[in-house]
Structure 1
Amino acid sequence: MSALLDIASLSVAFDGKPAITDVTLQVAAGDSVALVGGSGAGKSTVARAVAGLVTPTAGRIVFDGVDLTAVPQRRRGAARKGMHLVFQDPYASLPPTLRVGDVVAEPMVIHRIGDRDSRRRAAVAALESVHLRPAESFLQRYPHELSGGQRQRVAFARALVTRPKLLLADEPTSGLDASLRLEIVDLMSELAVSENMAVVHITHDLALAARSCRDIVVMQGGRIVETGRADTVLADPAHEYTAALVGAVSGV
């Protein structure tokens, strides 16, 4: 199966200091991969480079057959239309002055997709897909009127409304309690299958990574130190840093 996302020898530096070095990763449609590691490991930098929020200093990012590192600046937004980044903080990432229906439909407005009626129908369908039901009861509410878990589901609905091929989820369960964390990672797993999306889950939580993704990529100091199937990595970690992460997780 060919990769929807193909990252090869990717490096990013900030003020001359390496943030990630020689990162290589492939993700196929319908597949889910977790980038795992502690603070400063470089996980979020990988996602931000893919999303075009930081500029690589070396390497290649190919998405859906297009080399994003070679596309002219003016065309990069269109080339990334088929991906969406979900941030870790639903309190900060959702516009507080917009009602939920407008929040979810906003990507369609940005990409000039459909008219007002079709956008509303798409927003309803997206809210239904993340189990905010009945969806119509959420359309006129504001983000501050929702719980943390509901806000993160709205963030996922917003990500899904344009039917992206790739979902980048950067610590999407941060700040949620244990039961809500499980709900969100289970939702991600469900969406990967039902929407045939490639999902990259960035997390420091190895247990959640194993629950949500088939494959795990462990990062330390901006480099990949281990890659493998989640069950294999957890049962028999090959790198000492991975072993330390496994040992620190209760119940894995």
Structure 2
Amino acid sequence: MTTLLEIDALTVEFSGVTAVSDVTLRIAAGETVALVGGSGAGKSTVARAIAGLVSPAAGTIRFEGEELGAASRRRRRQLRRGMHLVFQDSYAALPPTMRVADIVAEPMVIHRQGDSASRRAAAVAALESVRLTPTATYLDRFAHELSGGQRQRVAFARALVTRPRLLLADEPASGLDASLRLEIVDLMTELAQTQGLAVLHITHDLALAARSCSTIVVMQDGREVESGPTADVLNAPAHDYTAALVAAASG
């Protein structure tokens, strides 16, 4: 598999306080990697550093073989068109005054891709790819008219409409009931496999990570404490914190 994202010794600081320190991970096309840890572990900060929403203090981020920190501003913008961050709170992330078709097509407008007809067609195709069907019944709805699971599917469709190579999914199943959580995670796995996406699944839920991810990276207090194949990490954790997470999930 082709490695799409490479992170080495990533460190992020806020006002001199270290939020993330020395995180390293790899994600290949078609692979889903879980970034696991409790609240405040630094998981979301890692995703935001990849997406360019915060600046690293040290370390390197390579996407499709190019180091983002060494690229020009214009080139970084071009490279980051190939990635999309799906936020935890789909209700807050979706514009309340826009209809679903326009919400999904908005990234194409931002990147000046296509005309109105081609953007609407792409939005329909993206909604079909996340199995929000019959699609025609959703195109003119507003976010508040959708269920939590439907909103999260719209968020994924919006992420996919520009055909990215990397999805950064920040607790995408949070706030949903058990059956919907499984549906969203299974959808993410399907998208990775069928569209060749690299997916970073940020979660505190080890059961969801085990269901969807080939590799787990465990973080505690901003640091990576353990990583490896999912089965190895969960069945024989090497770090006390990982063992505690596994015990809590089993209990």
**TM-score bin (small chain):** over 0.9
- What whole-Å deviation, never above 9, does each CA across 1:181-238 have from its counterpart, x for those lacking one? 1110010010000110000000011111111111110011111111111112111111
AA in 2 matched with 1:85: L
- What whole-Å deviation, never above 9, does each CA across 1:90-142 have from its counterpart, x for those lacking one? 11000000000000000111111111111111111110111101111111010
2:169 aligns to what?
169
Cα distance in structure 2, aligned partners of 1:164 and 1:135? 21
Taking only aligned residues, the RMSD between alpha carbons, in angstroms, comes to 1.0
Structure 2 length-normalised TM: 0.98
Quote the offset at 1:76 in angstroms.
Answer: 2.3
Structure 1 length-normalised TM: 0.97
Cα distance in structure 2, aligned partners of 1:176 and 1:16? 36
1:139 aligns to what?
139
* 1:153-164 paired onto structure 2 within 5 Å: 153-164=153-164
1:246 aligns to what?
246
Instruction: Name the SS for the 2:35 alignment partner.
Output: strand
Quote the offset at 1:54 in angstroms.
Answer: 0.3
Cα distance in structure 1, aligned partners of 2:250 and 2:221? 24
* Deviation >6 Å, runs of 4+: none
- What whole-Å deviation, never above 9, does each CA across 1:72-105 have from its counterpart, x for those lacking one? 2344222200000000001100000000000000
2:30 aligns to what?
30
Cα distance in structure 2, aligned partners of 1:78 and 1:230? 33
* 1:115-154 paired onto structure 2 within 5 Å: 115-154=115-154
- What whole-Å deviation, never above 9, does each CA across 1:19-44 have from its counterpart, x for those lacking one? 11111111111111000000111111
Instruction: Name the SS for the 1:141 alignment partner.
Output: coil
Matched, 1:103 2:103: yes
Instruction: Name the SS for the 2:103 alignment partner.
Output: helix
- What whole-Å deviation, never above 9, does each CA across 1:138-182 have from its counterpart, x for those lacking one? 110101000000000000000001111000000111111111111
Stretches of structure 1 that go unaligned for 5 or more consecutive residues are none
AA in 1 matched with 2:102: D
1:229 aligns to what?
229
- Give the % identical residues: 71
Cα distance in structure 2, aligned partners of 1:126 and 1:201? 20
1:72 aligns to what?
72
1:91 aligns to what?
91
Stretches of structure 2 that go unaligned for 5 or more consecutive residues are none
Instruction: Name the SS for the 1:38 alignment partner.
Output: coil
AA in 1 matched with 2:162: T
Higher deviation after alignment, 49-58 or 1-10: 1-10
